[in-house]
């Protein structure tokens, strides 16, 4: 009898230990993730995907961390603008800077984010890549999310961290494919997500190489801008990764094109997932009318037809945020 | 006595089996490669490089395979031009096409390769990425190198294949950083060099994403051209890899900027190497006056000052080419 009890206890502990997604409630989304990985990594399975082709791409803002009340890089740019305003008095007469200082997001996002790119240009271009990385790192050490009262890089979704680790332990190479700036994300992506810089695809402008006092230096410019959003996402995937992903995770219509590229007409098995922000209490609730970016209308309507998994954040996630170092 | 003999035999066999660079003659270059890898991968060494930062970048044309009598992608473009000429009669009145058909390389390379880019545009743009990959693969199956009489993708340097494998077995991530087209190289880089598409950085133009009969499609364009050569190489490394390499291998002045970026002011130990083409019998001999591309003047002059290793192909390589499937 004790043997049966011991066996049951052992099995329960193995089963608990073996749940790679403990922050996910039992749900169709959790089942779908586990089933896809199981069938594509079992040697001999008709749906086996060779390890070299196990590419999984993740949007960042709204998929791995929030994009409210502002995308975090916009918060960084506005803080940089304020910090550097005294040294750049000419900025004060710039109507876009004035709008930014008033927090007028509408003015920044009008005409395809024209004002926002102007602010990014003012605050990012002209710095060396080392200076820029240092300024991002310094900001992350002091800035706090206004609602969650913790550093921005500690506002990451625990369930998605578990998905990243689970996929990697099954031979998937995890990539970020985000509209955010590659140089911004690469400062912390390895530490926070375990995703190294070379697996971060983002918006970017070209740098300029020059020798400064005999030292090779890369200077950020605003030239040759590539916006890694909407149809730019499959373009970025092709340019940076050079193969079609097997799995794609997003949360907005800006991710629809890369989910289409991943899942439609793919000769291999494929998987698409949207995080639906349904949790006003623990995070935010929005889709058609987001407070900042992250509109989710057409992709949500297409999901059933395409077989894309939709995560109901409120229902499917037992925990939203990873533990913070401050509690 | 038999024990000593056995021991000596064992040691000899271990030593032979353990030589990771058997196609290299004993030489300063071989010693330098082995010593750098040993010191940077020994835990506890003051010069240890953490595995995540072990990035090794390789130029392709002239470093991993020849660039004579023409860079191989130029041979491909000229063959494509001839093949597609009957279907594109308007090309016949194009002076650049006429020069290309006559094999007038000077006309193609004048004014910063303007004519060459025009030919690449004619032959590459407008195709889908899948069509382009298929055309490269088909060409490799039939085209032969005019001097070595074997497929172009079998004209690869055996000593460099050994370096690639040796570095990977020591935790280095190997990348191509080449002026050649990324889309051209990615078709065969994994099969030939063991370098997957996502580790190929090359010249590129932007693709255009569109749904064709409901299928996501990427179409090659000539817009947003990025030339991954000279100062473009460190720019490409930053854009695609996002960290400074530990090791850099090139063969021409076009690689000098990326060797500088790798080795000057790098807080970690670093390694730079140039392949000097000194072997007219087995390959080609050139530096200041190459027959096509691959000029090596300033980088050769800088090498002693910078501590860059210079490989004397004739003296240092026991074998030049990997075995061909045709012999």
What does the pLDDT look like over B105-151, one tens digit per residue?
Answer: 888 888 888 898 899 999 988 999 999 999 999 999 999 999 999 99
Tens-digit pLDDT profile for residues B292-301: 889 999 999 9
For residue B240, list chain A residues with Cβ-Cβ distance below 8 A. 198, 240
Q: Which CATH number fits domain A22-68+154-316: 3.40.190.170, 3.40.50.1000, 3.40.47.10, 1.10.260.40?
A: 3.40.50.1000
For residue B242, list chain A residues with Cβ-Cβ distance below 8 A. 182-183, 186, 197-198, 200
User: What is the predicted pLDDT for the residue at B1?
Assistant: 45
Only one residue has tokens 């470093």, namely B63
Instruction: Give me the mean pLDDT over the B168-186 stretch.
Output: 97
Q: Is B104 helix (H, G, I), strand (E, B) or coil?
A: coil
User: What is the predicted pLDDT for the residue at A14?
Assistant: 47
Q: Nearest-5° angle of CA B294, CA B70, CA B257? A: 25
User: What is the predicted pLDDT for the residue at B113?
Assistant: 84
Distance CA B237, CA A211 (A): 16
- For residue A10, give every residue at least 6 positions away whose Cβ sits within 8 Å of its Cβ, in sequence order, or none: none
Nearest CB neighbour to B235, from listed A218, A234, A241: A218
> Percent of chain B beyond pLDDT 70?
94
Burial class (CB in 10 A: 0-12, 13-18, 19+), A169: exposed
- Is it the case that residue A2 has pLDDT exceeding 60? no
- For residue A302, give every residue at least 6 positions away whose Cβ sits within 8 Å of its Cβ, in sequence order, or none: A256, A308
Only one residue has tokens 């494929």, namely A270
DSSP string covering B35-92: HHHHHHHSTT-TT---GGG-EEEE--BTTTB---SS-HHHHHHHHHHHHHTTT-GGGG
Distance CA A301, CA A286 (A): 15
Instruction: Give me the mean pLDDT over the B45-67 stretch.
Output: 97
In chain A, where are the structural domains located? 22-68+154-316, 72-142
Tens-digit pLDDT profile for residues A156-187: 999 999 999 999 999 999 999 999 999 999 99
- For residue B321, give every residue at least 6 positions away whose Cβ sits within 8 Å of its Cβ, in sequence order, or none: B148, B154, B155, B156, B157, B158, B282
- A238 with B261: Cβ contact below 8 A: no
Note the ipTM here. 0.93
For residue B260, list chain A residues with Cβ-Cβ distance below 8 A. 211, 216
- What pTM was estimated for this model as a whole? 0.94
Confidence band of A113 (pLDDT split at 50, 70, 90): confident
- Is it the case that residue A8 has pLDDT exceeding 60? no
Alpha carbon B116 to its chain's center: 19
Distance CA A196, CA B212 (A): 34
- Is it the case that residue A5 has pLDDT exceeding 90? no
Chain A interface, Cβ < 8 Å to B? 52, 55, 129, 173, 182-183, 186, 190, 196-198, 200, 204, 206-211, 214-216, 218, 224, 226, 231-232, 234-235, 238-243, 257, 260-261, 264-265
Instruction: Give me the mean pLDDT over the A145-165 stretch.
Output: 98
Tokens of A209: 């190489």
Confidence band of B204 (pLDDT split at 50, 70, 90): very high
Peptide bond into A111 cis (omega under 30): no
Confidence band of A106 (pLDDT split at 50, 70, 90): confident
Alpha carbon B195 to its chain's center: 11
Assign a CATH topology to domain B20-68+156-316: Rossmann fold (3.40.50)
B104 compared with A9, residue with greater pLDDT: B104
- Is it the case that residue B3 has pLDDT exceeding 80? no
Distance CA A288, CA A39 (A): 34
User: What is the predicted pLDDT for the residue at A11?
Assistant: 47
Distances (CA, A) of A296 to A113, A287, A300, B63: 18, 5, 6, 48
Q: Which residues pair with B254 in a beta bridge?
A: none
The answer to whether A316 touches A29, Cβ cutoff 8 Å, is yes
User: What is the predicted pLDDT for the residue at A6?
Assistant: 52
B134-139: Cβ within 8 A, 24+ apart: B135/B80, B136/B76, B136/B183, B136/B184, B136/B187, B136/B188, B137/B187, B137/B188, B139/B76, B139/B79, B139/B80
Tens-digit pLDDT profile for residues B268-324: 999 999 999 999 999 999 999 998 889 999 999 999 999 999 999 999 999 999 999
Tens-digit pLDDT profile for residues A307-323: 999 999 999 999 999 99
For residue B239, list chain A residues with Cβ-Cβ distance below 8 A. 182, 204, 206-207
A104 compared with A187, residue with greater pLDDT: A187
User: What is the predicted pLDDT for the residue at A292?
Assistant: 83
Alpha carbon A177 to its chain's center: 7
What are the two backbone dihedrals, phi and then psi, of residue A182, each rounded to the nearest 5 degrees? -60, -45
The answer to whether B189 touches B111, Cβ cutoff 8 Å, is no
Distance CA B271, CA B263 (A): 6
Confidence band of A325 (pLDDT split at 50, 70, 90): confident
Q: Where are the beta strands (DSSP E) in A156-243?
A: 173-181, 200-203, 207-212, 215-220
Confidence band of B17 (pLDDT split at 50, 70, 90): low
What are the two backbone dihedrals, phi and then psi, of residue A68, each rounded to the nearest 5 degrees? -130, 150
User: What is the predicted pLDDT for the residue at B4?
Assistant: 55
For residue B234, list chain A residues with Cβ-Cβ distance below 8 A. 209, 216, 218
Q: Which helix (H) or strand (E) holds B276?
A: strand B271-278
Q: How many contacts does A have with B, using Cβ atoms within 8 A?
A: 98
- B216 with A261: Cβ contact below 8 A: yes
For residue A213, list chain B residues with Cβ-Cβ distance below 8 A. none
Tokens of A28: 């169709």
A109 compared with B82, residue with greater pLDDT: B82
Distance from the Cα of A297 to chain B's closest Cα (Å) equals 19
- Is it the case that residue A15 has pLDDT exceeding 90? no
Q: How many residues does chain B have?
A: 327
Tens-digit pLDDT profile for residues A50-92: 999 999 999 999 999 999 999 999 999 999 999 999 999 999 9
Nearest CB neighbour to B52, from listed A52, A196, A240: A196
Mean pLDDT value across chain A: 93
Q: Is A21 helix (H, G, I), strand (E, B) or coil?
A: coil
Strands B309-312 and B285-286 come out as unpaired
Distance CA B181, CA B188 (A): 12
């Amino acid at each position: 009898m004790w043997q049966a009890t011991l066996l049951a206890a052992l099995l329960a502990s193995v089963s608990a230990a073996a749940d790679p997604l403990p922050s996910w409630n039992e749900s169709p989304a959790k089942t779908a993730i586990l089933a896809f990985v199981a069938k594509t990594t079992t040697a001999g399975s008709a749906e086996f995907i060779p390890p070299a082709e196990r590419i999984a791409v993740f949007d960042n803002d709204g998929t791995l961390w929030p994009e409210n009340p502002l995308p975090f890089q916009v918060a960084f740019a506005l803080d940089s603008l304020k910090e550097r305003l005294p040294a750049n008095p000419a900025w004060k007469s710039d109507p876009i800077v004035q709008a930014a200082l008033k927090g007028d997001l509408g003015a920044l996002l009008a005409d395809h984010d024209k004002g926002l790119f102007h602010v990014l240009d003012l605050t990012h271009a002209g710095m060396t890549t080392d200076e820029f990385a240092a300024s991002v790192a310094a900001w992350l050490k002091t800035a706090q999310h206004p609602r969650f009262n913790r550093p921005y890089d500690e506002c990451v979704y625990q369930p998605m961290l578990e998905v990243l680790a689970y996929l990697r332990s099954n031979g998937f190479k995890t990539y970020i494919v985000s509209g955010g700036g590659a140089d911004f994300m690469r400062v912390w992506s390895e530490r926070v997500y375990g995703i190294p810089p070379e697996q971060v695809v983002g918006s970017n402008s070209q740098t300029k190489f020059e020798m400064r006092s005999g030292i090779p230096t890369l200077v950020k410019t605003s030239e040759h801008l590539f916006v890694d959003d909407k149809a730019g996402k499959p373009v970025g995937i092709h340019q940076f990764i050079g193969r079609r992903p097997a799995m794609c995770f997003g949360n907005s219509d800006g991710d629809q094109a890369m989910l289409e590229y991943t899942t439609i007409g793919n000769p291999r098995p494929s998987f698409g997932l949207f995080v639906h922000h349904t949790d006003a209490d623990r995070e935010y609730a929005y889709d058609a009318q987001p407070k900042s970016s992250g509109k989710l209308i057409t992709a949500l309507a297409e999901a059933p037809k395409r077989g894309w998994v939709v995560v109901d954040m409120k229902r499917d996630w037992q925990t939203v945020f990873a533990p913070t170092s401050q509690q």
